[in-house]
Structure 1
Amino acid sequence: MQQYMQRGSLAQLGLISTFLVLGACKFGGSGGGSDSPPPAGYKATIERTTYGVPHITADNLGGAGYGHGYAIAEDNLCVLADAFLTFRGERSQYFGPDEPASPMSTFGSPPNLEADFFFRFVVDDQQVSKFKNAQSDDVRELLRGFTAGYNRYVNEIQDGQHAGRHTDCRNQEWLTSVTEDDLMRRLVGLNLAASSANWVEEIASAQPPAIGATTLRSRSAPRELDIDPERFKLGRKNGIGSNTFAFGSDATETGESLLFANPHWYHLGIDRFYQVHMTVPGKLDISGAAIMGSPMIQMGFNDDIAWAHTVSTAYRFTLYQLQLANGDPTRYIQDGQEKSLEATEITIQVKQDDGSLAPASRTLYRSVYGPMINLAGMGLPGWNEQIAFTLRDINLENTRSFENFFAWNQAESLSDFYDITRQYVGIPWVNTTAIGRDDERALYSDITAVPNVPDSMLADCLAPGLGPVVIQLVPGLPLLDGTRSACDWRTDPDSKQPGAFGPGKLPSLFSTDYVANMNDSYWLSNPEQPLTGFDGIIGRENYPQTLRTRMGHTLVRERLTGTDGLNGHQASSENIRDIVLNSRVYSAELLKDEVLASVCDAGAPDIEQQACQILGNWNNTGEVDAVGAHIWTAFWVKLQDLELDMDLYATPFDAADPINTPAGLSTSGAVQDAIRGVFSDAVAELVEADIPLNAKLGDIQFFLKPGEQISQYGGEGEEGYFTVLRNTYMHVVDFPEDEPVRAYTFLSNSQSTDPTSPHYADYTEAYAAKNWHRVPFTRAQIEAERISSIDISE
């Protein structure tokens, strides 16, 4: 079974943060009929090149989708089948109520029953119909073709073809054909990754108290809230994000722009990337990565433009506090009038221990803003007779995301790309960087779907009592007063949907130097051209940057000043491919020498003296042959648990020098004592776990496949690694003069989740060896590297 081990036991030491077993899990899905008119017919050619990358050529968009759907099913049938089951809310019927719904995804791993209620409630038929009907004919054609291609492969498996493939799902009753609605459910679920889908169990469990029940909490703020700001991020934890650099003509050796894309995304499950190239002559010629189940490219390039994404800091939802009517917790007061919550009764068929099915029913509720949500687990009041909480989600109302991505797939210049961005404002939760052929500029943009809650609203519209507390703990996230429609989201003259910011109030930057993002806010996309004056719900300004952000900007600055030990002082495809995998550890570069001076005195125990010697000789990288990296990781993880934050440093943060500050180790007695205690504990824990202090990192940190370990370099962003363990799809793209687009790529988790596929681990091995792949794009390049070709039609 594929696994991705998070920090726990040894993983708490950060030693085996990525522990990938490249195998297959038990997956599921059930079927439906067709909800669209019979197609006139589909046909496509699927040519595979190195690492199994499919290049799909078709006469029309339906054919391109058809080829994509077939190819991805050939590589990842069981993962897709499992996902379609999840998004239909039918997992409990086949797997029972308690099993986790996903090995790893944007919606977490809730119990099956909670996932079923969530998706049946939030991504219901009405929501799917709204999204589907809002799509253009071109996008609908692509969706229908993808559905038909997927179904063709399912039918072939069920007819006994492809012997030996996809053994975990090929003979299961839940492997059936799917519908266009099933595919749209998948896309809507993806749209909600940074909003409603982050709160599956909280929405699925939101229930009113029995009428007349005793109220246990008052409307006043509790003394202490158990709110972790990380809980509000996509994926509910630090680490899901990305790096990107985009260089303009002033910063490159060729005088042409250059782009680096580096998502830190999911290695497992439905939300992993799939690399694909689709061509419809005269209409589409796009290569890159699609999040699995999406028929269009989310991050890629054509012969004129290239783009990358990082997870944005903007919030995509707000919470509202409702005042409930006396005696009825399903009615609330707004503008002095009583309103009823909308009740939806849902019944799920649940597999019992004896294999029989039994119904489970639940009534879930919506306010005028959206689904009710249970936040009692964070120390907030539960739904009682006085107050309750509800969530409004910008991306439940944003039907433009897929149109925006598809239009980018067809963009013909950087200016065209930027105009599309402003036309749709449909991107749901990511920053964008982009470059274009014959354009000297690099673009950064967070022109995305953001709730229009300007800072000017907050003084009057934060919920009484709790609102100021929440926004202090989670800067930028307002808990709004739901008793007054005056606190509804605003709408600008250029808003693309009611309640969203228009593009004129969202950050973007063109530069002929460079732009970058490492999941901090828009503020320092280029430190020499800071973006300021935007509302807090979009992001913060003048605040300490993460160590990964500082490492990223340091890598660029050293390159552009020629102080990184490489030739020249400008960026090139070759040196950027080298730099971004160098696994430098910024926390060690900042503080290791001072830490060792603090802990390595003559009176230290022998085992600590040994650790000191190893760290003193360590080269401050997480390369596979680095000796000492794991000791530093064990120390740094424990140090972060103390939450010293700025007290750790001698030189405080300076907004005028945000890349170089804070710096230096504090000499205060409390910090020095903490450093010594943490170091002793870290060394002792490694010894107790039987992990040699002199181990090479690649011997204890690796991908796994049956019978083989694939050593893994890099580490966690919180240590200041730019080369992060969660690297997934990567590309370095430029446009050499008078030549076709040039792209070097990786897909670190490989194309297929089926252990019997030849493309199950080959790309992983290439990534581990740092063998960038120049992916073919032109007809001649594809033919020169082709390893297989099939024609399919129906």
Structure 2
Amino acid sequence: MRLIVMSLTLLLALPAVSHAGGEGATIRRTSYGIPHVRAADHRNLGLGLGYAFAEDNACMMADIVVTLEARRSRWFGQDATTESGENNLVSDLYHQRVNQSGVIERALSGQSRQARDLVRGYVTGFNRYLARTGVADLPDARCRGAAWVRPITELDVWRRVHQIAGITGGEGLQEAVVAAQPPGAPAPTKLVRRPEQRPGSNGFGLGRTATGGTGMVLGNPHFMWDDDMRFYQQHLTIPGELNVSGAGLYGVPLVNIGHNDRLGWTHTASEARTITISRLTLVPGDPTSYLVDGRPQRMTAEQVTVPVRQADGSVKPVTRTLYGTPDGPVVADPGPLQWTTTNAHVLRDANFGNLAVFDQWLAIARARSVKDLHQALVRHQALPWVNTLAADSTGAAYYSDVQIVPHVTDELRARCGTGPDVGLVILDGSRSSCGWGTDADAVRPGTLGPARLPHLFRDDHVSNMNDSPWLANPAAPLTGYPAIVGDTGTERSPRTRIGLDMIADRLDGSDGLGRPGFTLSTLEASMFGNRNLTAEEGLKAVVALCQANPTLHGVDAREACATLAKWSGTGDTGEQSRGAFFWRTFISLARRPGIDFWLVPYDPADPARTPRGLNTADPGIGRAFADTVRAFANAGLPVDVKLDDVQHYEGIPIHGCRGPEGCFNVISVPGVPRPLDRIPRIPHGTSFVMAVELTKNGPRMSSLLVYGQSADKASPHHHDQAHLYVQKKWVSGRFSEQEIARDPNLKVQHVS
């Protein structure tokens, strides 16, 4: 491998970056380590991106590969955990079952040549870096010299694509799959009722009447900070064919959220359910057989074997029997999905086998307008669990929930719905008529067609903050879609409410940011304004309550009351943040069942502005305040603790607050007080942030990747952008050749 490092002077002397014979890729890194990869074709583009990503995150990719090849117990022992906190043995058994199914290999036949070439090049680039550097000399101490680091394969990358598609399906229910055993049989892992893990996000698409003529997009995904579902910022160019900038999840050579020269887009986690549960009626006396239309069917019993390192260092195979039906695996938990002598439950995941999402994102990257984008979504219909929000250079805005959704109509659900309401769609598995249907326009059998799924074109604005499609624009509510997609006419979350307020207040200029309407700078300021809806609605009332009652339910409330009276009421850090952590804890206690929290109840006729006001007349509000004071005292935590002391990344204070408080800029450090030395790392929240304006002269973009380009703590790009985030400063996007060449920290290398 040839590695040529060119100086800035040499680069500026060239009219354009080119490659003899189209071989190889040029990687130009601008400030904060952002790679701009340019090549003549998809394979060489993948080569450059794979090499650049390996420079920053070779150890994280190696860890992803170990997970997906089901070898974590082999290298780290069965009792350790994955990056996402899953038990190693559970993870291995689950992924080995997926690998044995052959579903990924079968799905590969449907991928385009461009997709296959990108992955092939990405693998070559990653492995070239690994060979050049040597495992023994990797910069990241977490895997330096480790025997489990190996060259990656194309199958490894396609497994990663499949894993990302299944986040809200089987991937999030691994333990329920592995723990499912017939009554009386010992479970291979302890049954634990775990909360569903769903990513979250905010997104705006702003049209010409909101901006004065251009299109703008705000992307604000909320992903986990401590696992491998991190974003990597990148710019990918094949002259005349592809030119896209943004961020993609680790291990996949794609931009998931980003822009080209005419279109910007983002995604938010959709409320649409991508899975259903079938409740089986078992054959009496035989817990592994079930009835369909009165006829007995036998479950599959699959032997799954994984290698496990023993205490003495030896490796021995461990075999478990996992059960299933043609629809999917049997699942069980200690709650309503228990496997009893009369019933069992089966998971059916609409994204099982979905690799088409790769070509879907390539098609999005090539779209030239929101109409092109809609056509790409309808043509592929392969997005796996996300809404799409976009705007283009004509000033058109767009919202869509066109994705993969099981074909469960309201009629089917009314006829076949069964089991307790636990946030899942549970259907009667004893009747064949209760299976998924198929629409004629659906790309994938068993799913709702695009015509049933909501979308909206506007010239003012669209938004989504993880509520249903209903109020993507309050002036044009979306209705008529099946309930499995989301609800209508119900109370919106505090985070949705503050997002709608941010748009409305900017359009009438009442937010204090200047003349009405969005500019790129006011969009940035709105994003980091750190408004808190519950504080805006209730802080004054709570302060009045505690000032009028210095002793509340036997607790001296004076110090806490004085703290709240001085608090800014936002998620900002610094001295003005004293009171923010107390408020967070108070809100979590005040919203307990039995407390009439809101003064003005929810009104379906005014859903964007109700409920509102805090009902301090309810005795539960005062009790919650007193309980919060006691909890802080028991934890040895001062009531006026600064947010800086409980919310930080690598020692860097991180502004923002929790979604349930009514915060847009989400940072999900819980509000339960504890000693300061036990405050956890930030588990989840604002990760990649993009504000882009699509003008007729090209895009203007600002971004922040809060936790940096590299998961390696020793890397200069591990937390360099966090220091910018503290100051609410942004990284200026470099999209044109001239912008890239002018970057003061430009470094160029050619991989061939």
Question: TM-score with structure 1 length normalisation?
Answer: 0.86
Structure 2 vs 1, CA of residues 599 and 462 (structure 1 numbering), >3 Å: closer, same or farther?
same
Shift of 1:166: 1.5
8 A contact 2:545–2:616 mirrored in 1: no
Q: Does 1:96 align with 2:70?
A: no
Letter of the structure 1 residue corresponding to residue 82 of structure 2: A
8 A contact 1:42–1:145 mirrored in 2: no
8 A contact 2:103–2:353 mirrored in 1: no
Letter of the structure 1 residue corresponding to residue 694 of structure 2: F
Q: 2:142 aligns with which of 150, 163, 168?
A: 168
Structure 1 window deviating more from structure 2 (605-614 vs 179-188): it is: 605-614
Structure-1 separation of matches of 2:722 and 2:102:
41
Shift of 1:607: 5.0
Letter of the structure 2 residue corresponding to residue 530 of structure 1: P
Structure 2 vs 1, CA of residues 164 and 529 (structure 1 numbering), >3 Å: closer, same or farther?
same
Instruction: Report what 1:521 is aligned to.
Output: 468
8 A contact 1:122–1:371 mirrored in 2: no
Structure-1 separation of matches of 2:622 and 2:283:
57
* Number of residue pairs the alignment of both structures matches: 705
Q: 2:548 aligns with which of 597, 601, 623?
A: 601
Structure-1 separation of matches of 2:179 and 2:430:
23
Give a deviation string over 1:234-293, Cα, whole Å, max 9, x none: 43xxxx30111111101113x111110001112233210000111111221111000001
Corresponding residue SS for 1:735: strand
Instruction: Report what 1:84 is aligned to.
Output: 65
8 A contact 1:370–1:392 mirrored in 2: yes
Shift of 1:604: 1.7
Q: Does 1:45 align with 2:26?
A: yes
Corresponding residue SS for 2:214: coil
Structure-2 separation of matches of 1:596 and 1:326:
62
Instruction: Report what 2:661 is aligned to.
Output: 719
Instruction: Report what 1:429 is aligned to.
Output: 385
Corresponding residue SS for 2:328: coil
Letter of the structure 2 residue corresponding to residue 250 of structure 1: T
Instruction: Report what 2:612 is aligned to.
Output: 663
Matches within 5 A, 1:224-623: 231-232=195-196, 234-235=197-198, 240-253=199-212, 255-375=213-333, 377-380=334-337, 382-438=338-394, 440-463=395-418, 466=419, 469-470=420-421, 473-474=422-423, 477-604=424-551, 607-623=556-572
Structure-1 separation of matches of 2:327 and 2:269:
25
Instruction: Report what 2:104 is aligned to.
Output: 128
Letter of the structure 2 residue corresponding to residue 552 of structure 1: G
Structure 2 vs 1, CA of residues 749 and 258 (structure 1 numbering), >3 Å: closer, same or farther?
same
Structure-1 separation of matches of 2:95 and 2:201:
27
Structure-2 separation of matches of 1:675 and 1:572:
40
Instruction: Report what 1:683 is aligned to.
Output: 629
Corresponding residue SS for 1:371: strand
Structure-1 separation of matches of 2:551 and 2:115:
66
Give a deviation string over 1:720-770, Cα, whole Å, max 9, x none: 111111111011111233x22111000001001122322121111111211
Instruction: Report what 2:671 is aligned to.
Output: none
Give a deviation string over 1:334-355, Cα, whole Å, max 9, x none: 1232222222211111001110
Structure 1 window deviating more from structure 2 (327-336 vs 317-326): it is: 327-336
Shift of 1:322: 1.2
Q: 2:647 aligns with which of 680, 701, 708?
A: 701
Structure-2 separation of matches of 1:118 and 1:603:
56
Shift of 1:313: 0.3
Give a deviation string over 1:440-468, Cα, whole Å, max 9, x none: 320000011000101111232123xx2xx
Shift of 1:629: 1.4
Structure-1 separation of matches of 2:37 and 2:747:
12
8 A contact 1:164–1:756 mirrored in 2: no
Corresponding residue SS for 2:695: coil
Structure-1 separation of matches of 2:150 and 2:728:
39
Instruction: Report what 1:754 is aligned to.
Output: 712
Structure-2 separation of matches of 1:164 and 1:406:
32
Structure 2 vs 1, CA of residues 599 and 227 (structure 1 numbering), >3 Å: closer, same or farther?
farther
Corresponding residue SS for 1:579: helix
8 A contact 2:203–2:219 mirrored in 1: yes
8 A contact 2:202–2:219 mirrored in 1: yes
Corresponding residue SS for 1:264: strand
Q: 2:183 aligns with which of 200, 206, 209?
A: 209
Shift of 1:602: 4.7
Letter of the structure 2 residue corresponding to residue 408 of structure 1: I
- Between the aligned residues of both structures, percent identity stands at 35
Shift of 1:387: 1.8
Letter of the structure 1 residue corresponding to residue 658 of structure 2: E
Structure-2 separation of matches of 1:82 and 1:159:
13
8 A contact 1:366–1:390 mirrored in 2: yes
Instruction: Report what 1:118 is aligned to.
Output: 94
Structure-2 separation of matches of 1:126 and 1:760:
37
Unaligned 5+ segments in structure 2 are 1-20, 187-191, 668-684
Letter of the structure 1 residue corresponding to residue 708 of structure 2: S
Instruction: Report what 2:35 is aligned to.
Output: 54
Structure-2 separation of matches of 1:424 and 1:566:
41
Instruction: Report what 1:144 is aligned to.
Output: 120
Task: Give runs of ≥4 in structure 1 deviating > 4 Å.
Answer: none
Question: TM-score with structure 2 length normalisation?
Answer: 0.91
Structure 2 vs 1, CA of residues 393 and 61 (structure 1 numbering), >3 Å: closer, same or farther?
same
8 A contact 1:123–1:189 mirrored in 2: no
Structure-2 separation of matches of 1:354 and 1:278:
48
Give a deviation string over 1:162-210, Cα, whole Å, max 9, x none: x561122120111111111111111111110011111001101212236
Corresponding residue SS for 1:92: helix
Structure-1 separation of matches of 2:42 and 2:353:
26
8 A contact 2:135–2:144 mirrored in 1: no
Structure-2 separation of matches of 1:266 and 1:633:
20
Structure 2 vs 1, CA of residues 493 and 711 (structure 1 numbering), >3 Å: closer, same or farther?
same
After superposition, the CA RMSD in angstroms is 2.0
8 A contact 2:135–2:145 mirrored in 1: no
Instruction: Report what 2:652 is aligned to.
Output: 710
Structure-2 separation of matches of 1:700 and 1:98:
29
Structure 2 vs 1, CA of residues 564 and 753 (structure 1 numbering), >3 Å: closer, same or farther?
same
Shift of 1:579: 1.1
Shift of 1:782: 0.8
Structure 2 vs 1, CA of residues 366 and 779 (structure 1 numbering), >3 Å: closer, same or farther?
same
Letter of the structure 2 residue corresponding to residue 567 of structure 1: G
Q: Does 1:178 align with 2:152?
A: yes
